[in-house]
Amino acid sequence: MNHFLQRHAGSVIGMVSGWDRLRFRGTLRMLANLTGMSRFLTYKGQLFKDFGKYAQETSRQVRQQALAAVERADRPVVHLDSPMVNKEQEALKIAARDQVSQGVIAALTAVESCHSYDIRSDRSRGLLELYSRSRKCQHIYVYQIHPVFGLMYSRLQTWFPFNIHLGINGREWLAVQMDGLGMKYLRRDNCFTWVDDIAKVQHLLDQQVSFGWAKALGELSRQINPALGEVVGGYDIPYYWSVDQSEWASDVMFKKREDLRRLYPALIHQGMHQFDSPQVMRFLGRRLSGNFAGEVTSDYCKRDEGVRIKHWVNLNSVKMYDKGPVLRVETTLNNMRDFKAPRRVKGKVVYRPMRKGVADIKRRAKVSQSSNQRYLDALGAASVPTPLKTLTAKLSRPVCWQGKPVRGLNLLGDADAALCEAVSRGEFAINGFRNRDLQGLLFSGATTDPAQQRRRSGQVTRRLRMLRAHGLIQKVPHTHRYIVSPKGHQVFAALHAAREADIETLARAA
């Protein structure tokens, strides 16, 4: 069970975790690069000198057919003078005015920046050439209340290469699911403050992770860009779907708003003052080392609806905020190269950089949930005034593990503290660590002597066995990797705080 929920069991109803905002990107991969676009123009028999006229005619065809589908539904098409207008608010105003409860709400058009193509003259060769550049073109936003996803939007770029963006909200989707089952719930904005069956709601959110995205997004793309078949002709160029950005939210529902209100200042204080850069990177599975060129940032923001704290590692973040009686922890992922996903290569499972494509969406969900879980575990360990001796009393005593005695830990001693600090480093949070990963951290200087290497490996093996015996780490099945256990996260967080505290602060606390 989640340690945060255990510590606040008397005031918490429960927790649900799942997708919040998902932004998909549909790309016609052949048309999204110069080589592919040039081949396509050759296939269509279009000369570079005629590209401008051909592109304008094609853009007009795409725009007309996309808007015709909206007009056939007898819904309005509204042109926005500025791309800075909040389009969702405009769509919701139209939905309220026209009492739209299902189907298309409206199409909103705006001229916005995009990546596209143009023709220029290569004077050195006396030839025209295709090149990519930033430009502006009309984009079509279609807002609708989808029978499966609820309120959602699509954004179509009406100039080559006709990229599509889709915005779906997991909590809107969940509301549709619960309504279909006749479930009871209380909702506040984009979160649920009470549900009649938490286990069933979590099951519905889990179903969203396993959803058949490729088929569903393919069907949506044909509705969004109905002219695609005529544009590409006999060429089979389907949209390739990736997840541009995802938000995964864990909502802790408190019985009373006052319970969270009393606790929240302590959570804010811990988040801003106790979570240093290595700790933040541990949440998001990143490495803090000499060659790290990114930026770790924490931010405090007071809004009308409450206080939010947010921690960034490059383009990824984890944040916490309150929404009435709900405490929300949310991980936002933009840069998937910071994470790894298992793939089977020649019969073996290897970890490679995670892809943005929907093929890795389940792994993305798992990484996001792990981030939220670590954040909540750290809050649970830090926010409750538990004496350190309560956590460490049993750890200092010898234990018997797998029929053999194992010594106790001296957590305030340099050797064991260094070991605990090493295994809880940020770079090991997602994929775990191996014996050889720790050798470089626990021993000074590399060695090429085989005998010395064996001695170091044996020493690390015995230390890992000690941590396993005390329940602080777990072995990943069928691998040589280990991960920190929930108990370990709790102990290591408390140990870090104790070692960093100054004597005057400890004396006042005592």
Which amino acid is present at 330?
E
Residue 368 to residue 362: CA distance in whole angstroms = 10
Query: Angle of helix 435-442 relative to helix 450-469, nearest 10 degrees?
Result: 100
pLDDT at residue number 63:
97
Q: What's the pTM value of the predicted model, to 2 decimals?
A: 0.75
At 252, list the tokens.
């802790």
- Domains annotated on the chain, with CATH: 1-24+168-210+242-384 (no CATH), 29-162 (no CATH), 387-510 (1.10.10)
Q: Which of 183, 479, 204 is nearest to 348 (CA)?
A: 479
d(CA 309, CA 329): 10
pLDDT score recorded for residue 296: 73
Strands 127-146 vs 191-195: parallel, antiparallel or unpaired = unpaired
Rounded to whole angstroms, the Cα distance separating 164 from 144 reads 15
Q: Where are the alpha helices (DSSP H) in 384-449?
A: 388-392, 414-423, 435-442
Which pLDDT does position 412 carry in this prediction? 73
Q: What is the bridge-based pairing of β-strands 240-254 and 191-195?
A: unpaired
Q: Which residues contact 193 (CB under 8 A, 6 or more apart)?
A: 186, 187, 253, 323, 324, 325, 326
Angle, vertex CA 158, rays to CA 156 and CA 160, nearest 5: 110
Give the pLDDT of the chain (510 residues) as one tens digit per residue: 477 888 888 899 999 999 999 999 999 999 999 999 999 999 999 999 999 999 999 999 999 999 999 999 999 999 999 989 999 999 999 999 999 999 999 999 999 999 999 999 988 888 999 999 999 999 999 999 999 999 999 999 999 999 999 999 999 999 999 999 999 999 998 899 999 999 999 999 999 999 999 999 999 999 999 999 999 988 889 999 999 999 999 999 999 999 998 888 888 888 777 676 566 666 776 555 555 556 677 788 877 667 889 888 888 999 999 999 999 999 999 998 888 888 888 888 898 889 999 999 999 999 999 999 989 988 886 544 556 666 677 888 999 999 999 999 887 778 888 898 899 887 887 788 999 999 989 998 888 888 999 999 999 999 999 999 999 999 999 898 999 998 888 888 877 777 766 666 656 655
* H or E element, residue 466: helix 450-469
What confidence score (pLDDT) does residue 123 get? Answer: 83
